[in-house]
Amino acid sequence: MGYHFYFYIIILLLITEMYKPNDITYPLISWYKSNKRNLPWRNAFNHENAPYQILVSEFMLQQTTVATVLNYYDRFIERWPTNKDLSNATEDEVLEIWSGLGYYSRGINLLKTSKIIFHDYSNKIPKDIDTLKTFPGVGEYMSSAIASIAYNLPSKAVDTNIQRVITRYYQLDFKKPARNRKKVQDIVLLLTSNDSPRDLIQGLMDLGSSLCTPKLPDCEKCPLKRGCNSYKNNKFEFTLKKIKKIIPQRYGRVYLIERTDGSYLLERRAEKGLLAKTYQFPTTDWCEAMPPSDFLESYQKMNVVGKVNHRFSHFTLELTVIKVDYESSDIKNITVKLKREKLANIYSGRKLSLIIKKLEDGTNTLVSLIYPVNNTTSVEIRKVQNN
């Protein structure tokens, strides 16, 4: 054996002695087995479908809380129980189930990933982290989480909860979380190489979400308090006070183009960008000041019926709702009846339903969705009264 091998062993021993992984893994896994959250994607680890369910959950959990994801996850798995089922879905079908969850590119990327796995990997979700990272929307964290949680393999999976727990336990510089991230990843890799990666990763997540919270951590109940440097030194700060940012305001007009038969025109948003590929009523651009009324500017049958406000993560939007009467006989296609509340399922953020409510008050309205036969980007909504 060469010099490099012995040098590696010495470094490994020094790191192990420095971070003492057994002081974390044993008490944490014991605590996790007694206190773990009952999450639906954790109930399939002994089933061949487990990697698929973990894949779906990880896509949904990006920038979204567990509580929000739960209802969407159950509906999604009920609709597409396996990766093969999902690979045969269309973008419109996925976006319908995804509606209201936000960050719609995640749903589109999940569908793309599913199709790649089905066609290029014999419908088997890879175990290799580098391979997983090549899939649309799968980055360093998600690929590591899938490897550890689905396949019980060591990884560097670090989310905000794990980052906080490790930073506090070793009392790393809380003012520089980005600089510490690689160190935290290396520690997590060491920990997951020492004992059950799946239980350890999920244990760190659950500990961070329940006890080792950003504010007022419940240290007395923490299974790691004996070795926690922050607990010993009574220093629990983790995040700096954020400077309050002024949220930009944007304005626009949204047009309800109504036919004499009571149908409305919809358009589909662009392939990329905010709310990509979702349906909406025709709108102007969203600007810092109200944009010029260049859309249907010469049309006389226009009526302002109200305003709709919505807050995105990085700006707030105020839309002036304008009703336009329009005559056309060009309705040719298949009609799919939806109850009015189902309008939310074809439009992100449920704004379409809110706009409709500006026009009418009543719960007995049905809505029919008319799909065009050609490759246009518009559809029509027809209102039909219940008998």
pLDDT at 364 over 80: no
Q: Say if residue 49's pLDDT is above 90.
A: no
Region 47-65: mean pLDDT is: 91
Confidence of residue 277 (pLDDT cuts 50, 70, 90): low
Q: What is the pLDDT of residue 341?
A: 42
pLDDT at position 194 is 75
Instruction: Specify the pLDDT at position 2.
Output: 52
Q: What is the mean pLDDT of the chain?
A: 75
pLDDT band of residue 97 (cuts 50, 70, 90) is confident
**End-to-end CA gap in the chain:** 85
How far is it, in rounded angstroms, from Cα 111 to Cα 113?
5
The reported pTM is 0.68
Structural domains in the chain plus CATH codes: 3-233 (1.10.340.30), 249-385 (3.90.79.10)
Q: How confident is the model at residue 347 (pLDDT cuts 50, 70, 90)?
A: very low
Residue 83: pLDDT above 50?
A: yes
Of the two residues 222 and 382, the one the predictor is more confident about is: 222
Catalytic residue among 17, 48, 58, 360: 58
Minimum mean pLDDT among 37-41, 161-165, 266-270: which range? Answer: 266-270
Is pLDDT at 1 greater than 80 in this prediction? Answer: no
Q: What are phi and psi of 237, to 5 degrees?
A: -55, 140
How far apart (Å, rounded) are the C-alpha atoms in residues 328 and 325? Answer: 10
| 58 tagged catalytic | yes
Q: Tens digit of pLDDT for each residue in 121-149?
A: 999 999 999 999 999 999 999 999 999 99
Q: Give residue-wise pLDDT tens across range 329-338.
A: 333 333 333 3
> What 3-state class would DSSP assign to 232?
helix
Going through 231-349 in order, the beta strands assigned E by DSSP cover: 249-259, 263-268, 279-280, 302-311, 316-326, 335-339
Please determine, for residue 150, whether its predicted confidence score (pLDDT) is greater than 50: yes
268 token code pair: 């589909």
DSSP character string of 184-239: HHHHHHHHHHHS-HHHHHHHHHHHHHHTS-SSS--GGG-TTTTT-HHHHHT----S
pLDDT at 378 over 80: no
Which carries the bigger pLDDT value, residue 367 or residue 325?
A: 325
* Residue range 218-230, pLDDT digits in tens: 999 999 999 999 9
Residue 234's pLDDT is 84
Q: Is the pLDDT of residue 344 over 70?
A: no
- Give residue 308's pLDDT band: very low, low, confident or very high (50, 70, 90): confident
